[in-house]
Structure 1
Amino acid sequence: MVLRSHQISVLPLLFLILLNYCAISSATQGAIDPKQRVDCAPRRGDATREICVARGCVWDENFDKYHPSVPLCYFPTNTGYVVKKQSTGQLLLQKYLIGPVNPYSKDIEHLDVNYKTIGTALKVSIGTKDRFVPPVPVDESTPIQSTDQLIFKYKNDPVFSFTVERANEGNQSIKIWDTSIGGLLFGDQFIQIATFLPTDRVYGFGENVHQELKHDFTKYYTWAMLARDDPPDSRDPNGWNYYGVHPFYMGLEPSGKAHGVLIMNSNAQEVTTGPGPHITYRTIGGQLDIYFLPGPGPEQVVQQYQQLLGKPFLPAYWALGFQLCRFGFKSSQHLADTIKRQQDAGIPIDVAYADIDYMDRYKDFTYDTDNWNSLPQVTDNLHSQGMHLILIFDPAIQVDYDSFRRGIEKKAAFIEWPSKDMVPKDMPQYNLTKDTKIMLGVVWPDRHVAFPDFLDKSGKTQQWWIDEFVEFHKKVNFDGIWIDMNEPSNFGTNEEHPWYFDNPDHPNITQLKCKTEGPYAYLEVPPYPTANIWRSKDDILCSKTLCMSAKTGDLFLYDTHNLYGWSETVATDEALKKSTGKRGAVISRSTFPGSGRHGGHWLGDNTARWEDLATTIIGAQEFNIFGIPYVGSDVCGFNGLSNEELCLRWQQLGAFHSFYRNHNSDDQPDQDPAVWPSVANATKVANLFRYQHLPYLYTLHFRVSLYGGSVVRPVFFEFPLDFQAHTLSHQFMWGSSIMVVPVTSPNVDYVHGYLPNSADWYSISPAYKYGQLMPTGFSDFNAPRDTPLPTFARGGSIIPKQRPDITTTATRKNEFQLLVALCPKTLQAKGELYWDDGESLVENFATYNYLHFEYYATVTDKNMELKINCSRGYNAPDKVKVSSLNTIEMLGYPFPPKWNTAKINGQPLPIGSDKATYLADKKVLKIDAPAFIDLNNNGPIWTITWENGGSKVEL
Structure 2
Amino acid sequence: RIHASKAKRLSVCTKARAPAGSSSPRPSEPSSLSCRHARFDMAAAMVWVPILEDGVFRFDVSEAARVAAGPSLSFAEPRRREVVLRDGAGRPAVVPECEVVGDDVHRVLIKLPSGTSFYGTGEASGPLERTGKRVFTWNTDAWGYGSGTTSLYQSHPWVLSILPDGKSLGVLADTTRRCEIDLRQESTIKFAALSAYPIITFGPFDTPAQVVASLSHAIGTVSMPSKWALGYHQCRFSYKSSERVLEVIRTFREKGIPCDVVWMDIDYMDGFRCFTFDNNRFADPKSMVDDLHSIGCKSIWMLDPGIKEEKGYFVYDGGSENDVWIKKADGSPFIGEVWPGDCVFPDFTSERIRTWWARLVRDFISNGVDGIWNDMNEPAMTTTTKTMPESNIHRGDADIGGVQNHSYYHNVYGMLMARSTYEGMVMYNTEKRPFVLTRAGFIGSQRYAATWTGDNLSNWEHLHMSLSMVLQLCEEVCRLALLRRYRLLPHIYTLFYVSHKKGTPVAAPLFFADPQDTELRKIETTFLLGPLLVCASTLPDKGAHECAHKLPNGIWLPFDFGDSHPDLPVLYLRGGAILPVGLPIQHVGEASLGDDLSLLVALDENGKAEGVLFEDAGDGYGFTQGDYLLTYYVAEVHSSVVSVKVLKTEGSLKRPKRNLNISILLGGGAMISSRGVDGEEVHFTMPSEFEVSSLVATSELDLKERLETIRPIPDMDEPSGQEGTELSKTLIVLKSGDWFLKIVPWIGGRIISMTHVPSDSQWLHSRIEIHGYEEYSGTEYRSAGCIEEYKIVR
TM-score for the superposition, normalised by structure 2: 0.77
**Aligned-partner SS, 1:274:** coil
Task: Give me the whole-angstrom Cα distance separating, in 2, the residues matched to 1:550 and 1:922.
Answer: 60
Partner amino acid, structure 2, of 1:926: S
Deviation string for 1:686-722 (max 9, x for gaps)?
A: 1111101100000000111111110111111111122
1:505-904 matches, within 5 Å, as 543-553=385-395, 554-580=403-429, 581-623=431-473, 679-735=474-530, 737-749=531-543, 750-765=545-560, 784-785=566-567, 788-812=568-592, 815-841=595-621, 846-861=624-639, 863-869=641-647, 871-874=649-652, 879=653, 882=656, 884-892=658-666
Stretch moving more, 562-571 or 576-585: 576-585
Select 2:177's aligned residue among 264, 267, 274. 267
Deviation string for 1:401-439 (max 9, x for gaps)?
A: 112323344x3632112333xxxxxxxxxxxxxxxx221
Task: Give me the whole-angstrom Cα distance separating, in 2, the residues matched to 1:177 and 1:237.
Answer: 31
Select 2:338's aligned residue among 443, 449, 460. 443
Q: CA deviation at 1:946?
A: 5.0
Q: CA deviation at 1:766?
A: 5.4
Partner amino acid, structure 2, of 1:439: F
Select 1:347's aligned residue among 241, 257, 271. 257
Q: CA deviation at 1:324?
A: 0.8
* Pairing 1:214–2:129 present: yes
Partner amino acid, structure 2, of 1:362: F
1:274-289 matches, within 5 Å, as 274-289=184-199
Cα distance, 1:755–1:942 mapped onto 2, change above 3 Å: farther
Task: Give me the whole-angstrom Cα distance separating, in 1, the residues matched to 2:576 and 2:25.
Answer: 51
Task: Give me the whole-angstrom Cα distance separating, in 1, the residues matched to 2:304 and 2:204.
Answer: 39
Q: CA deviation at 1:311?
A: 1.2
Task: Give me the whole-angstrom Cα distance separating, in 1, the residues matched to 2:688 and 2:546.
Answer: 39
What is the aligned partner in structure 2 of residue 481 from structure 1? 372
* Pairing 1:203–2:113 present: no
**Aligned-partner SS, 1:576:** helix
Task: Give me the whole-angstrom Cα distance separating, in 1, the residues matched to 2:683 and 2:45.
Answer: 68
**Aligned-partner SS, 1:271:** strand
Task: Give me the whole-angstrom Cα distance separating, in 1, the residues matched to 2:152 and 2:204.
Answer: 29
**Aligned-partner SS, 2:256:** coil
Cα distance, 1:270–1:863 mapped onto 2, change above 3 Å: same
What is the aligned partner in structure 1 of residue 247 from structure 2? 337
On the 8 A contact 1:364/1:393 being kept in 2, the answer is: yes
Partner amino acid, structure 2, of 1:716: F
Deviation string for 1:559-585 (max 9, x for gaps)?
A: 111111111121111212223441142
On the 8 A contact 1:396/1:450 being kept in 2, the answer is: yes
Partner amino acid, structure 2, of 1:483: N
Task: Give me the whole-angstrom Cα distance separating, in 2, the residues matched to 1:884 and 1:84.
Answer: 64
Task: Give me the whole-angstrom Cα distance separating, in 1, the residues matched to 2:670 and 2:410.
Answer: 58
Select 1:86's aligned residue among 2, 16, 20. 20
Q: CA deviation at 1:206?
A: 3.1
Task: Give me the whole-angstrom Cα distance separating, in 2, the residues matched to 1:84 and 1:802.
Answer: 58
Deviation string for 1:435-487 (max 9, x for gaps)?
A: xx2212221114x222112221xx2212211211121222x201111101111
Select 1:394's aligned residue among 281, 304, 307. 304
Task: Give me the whole-angstrom Cα distance separating, in 2, the residues matched to 1:835 and 1:478.
Answer: 25
Q: CA deviation at 1:838?
A: 0.6
On the 8 A contact 1:762/1:821 being kept in 2, the answer is: no
On the 8 A contact 1:412/1:452 being kept in 2, the answer is: no
Task: Give me the whole-angstrom Cα distance separating, in 1, the residues matched to 2:516 and 2:688.
Answer: 39
Structure 1: 5+ residue stretches without partners = 1-19, 31-74, 93-98, 153-163, 166-175, 421-436, 496-542, 624-678, 771-781, 894-920, 936-940
Cα distance, 1:262–1:947 mapped onto 2, change above 3 Å: same
Cα distance, 1:746–1:947 mapped onto 2, change above 3 Å: closer
On the 8 A contact 2:72/2:81 being kept in 1, the answer is: no
On the 8 A contact 1:438/1:450 being kept in 2, the answer is: yes
Task: Give me the whole-angstrom Cα distance separating, in 2, the residues matched to 1:883 and 1:552.
Answer: 57
Deviation string for 1:885-919 (max 9, x for gaps)?
A: 342212239xxxxxxxxxxxxxxxxxxxxxxxxxx
Cα distance, 1:316–1:275 mapped onto 2, change above 3 Å: same
Select 1:233's aligned residue among 117, 134, 145. 145
Select 1:418's aligned residue among 318, 325, 329. 329
Structure 2: 5+ residue stretches without partners = 27-38, 396-402, 694-794
Task: Give me the whole-angstrom Cα distance separating, in 1, the residues matched to 2:425 and 2:21.
Answer: 48
Higher gyration radius (CA) = 1
Q: CA deviation at 1:954?
A: 5.3
What is the aligned partner in structure 2 of residue 926 from structure 1? 673
Cα distance, 1:301–1:951 mapped onto 2, change above 3 Å: closer
What is the aligned partner in structure 1 of residue 283 from structure 2? 373
Partner amino acid, structure 2, of 1:115: V
Task: Give me the whole-angstrom Cα distance separating, in 2, the residues matched to 1:579 and 1:365.
Answer: 15
Partner amino acid, structure 2, of 1:884: R
Q: CA deviation at 1:267?
A: 0.5
What is the aligned partner in structure 2 of residue 525 from structure 1? none
On the 8 A contact 1:755/1:761 being kept in 2, the answer is: no
Task: Give me the whole-angstrom Cα distance separating, in 2, the residues matched to 1:473 and 1:288.
Answer: 40
* Pairing 1:189–2:189 present: no
Task: Give me the whole-angstrom Cα distance separating, in 2, the residues matched to 1:851 and 1:274.
Answer: 48
On the 8 A contact 2:10/2:45 being kept in 1, the answer is: no
CA RMSD of aligned residues (A): 3.3
Task: Give me the whole-angstrom Cα distance separating, in 1, the residues matched to 2:99 and 2:242.
Answer: 58
On the 8 A contact 1:231/1:242 being kept in 2, the answer is: no
**Aligned-partner SS, 2:172:** strand
**Aligned-partner SS, 1:487:** coil
Task: Give me the whole-angstrom Cα distance separating, in 2, the residues matched to 1:143 and 1:557.
Answer: 25
Cα distance, 1:142–1:884 mapped onto 2, change above 3 Å: farther
Cα distance, 1:85–1:833 mapped onto 2, change above 3 Å: closer
On the 8 A contact 1:804/1:811 being kept in 2, the answer is: no
Partner amino acid, structure 2, of 1:201: S
Cα distance, 1:922–1:222 mapped onto 2, change above 3 Å: closer
Task: Give me the whole-angstrom Cα distance separating, in 1, the residues matched to 2:389 and 2:25.
Answer: 37
What is the aligned partner in structure 2 of residue 501 from structure 1? none
What is the aligned partner in structure 2 of residue 123 from structure 1? 58
Cα distance, 1:846–1:336 mapped onto 2, change above 3 Å: closer
On the 8 A contact 1:742/1:751 being kept in 2, the answer is: no
On the 8 A contact 1:259/1:296 being kept in 2, the answer is: no
Task: Give me the whole-angstrom Cα distance separating, in 2, the residues matched to 1:950 and 1:762.
Answer: 18
Cα distance, 1:131–1:618 mapped onto 2, change above 3 Å: same
Q: CA deviation at 1:723?
A: 2.3
On the 8 A contact 2:168/2:205 being kept in 1, the answer is: yes
